[in-house]
Amino acid sequence: MADFVDRNLSTEEIIKMAAEMFITFSTQEIDGCTVLTHPYGYSAFTSLTIDEMREVDLVFQLLIAAEKVGWKQFETASKFLTRCGWVASDCGTAVERLVYYLCEALQKRIENETGIPGPVKLEKLVSCIIFCSNI
């Protein structure tokens, strides 16, 4: 009888998988939309749980955003940062917190480079709505 241990990937393993995806994926611009393709499809990642795949994808999106900032493609970078912002959280898992703070840093860099302020944070918007509804 084999002992099966249900273990989750560590933060480091998730980052390594996302980096592998980032290196092997290629991006194509089709009708103004960025399309991501992988030479082996998603079969290499089928052993992951839904939560693990979500976290790998979150780091992957962050890596794309960072690359776009480096190439000064700020509009595209902002789109990827927004996608990350839907999942990343300063009170979530270790991966979500890491991505949250790196997204903030990248957004600040975009603001410094372009002079255009970043999007309003969701938690600020929610607290404003709660405050206004109590008046």
Give the pLDDT confidence of 51-99 residue by residue, as tens digits: 999 999 999 999 999 999 999 999 999 999 999 999 999 999 999 999 9
pLDDT tops 80 at residue 131: no
Torsion sign across C-alpha atoms 112, 116, 119, 124: positive
pLDDT tops 60 at residue 122: no
Q: How far is 28 from 34, CA to CA, in rounded Å? A: 6
37 versus 122: which is more confidently predicted? 37
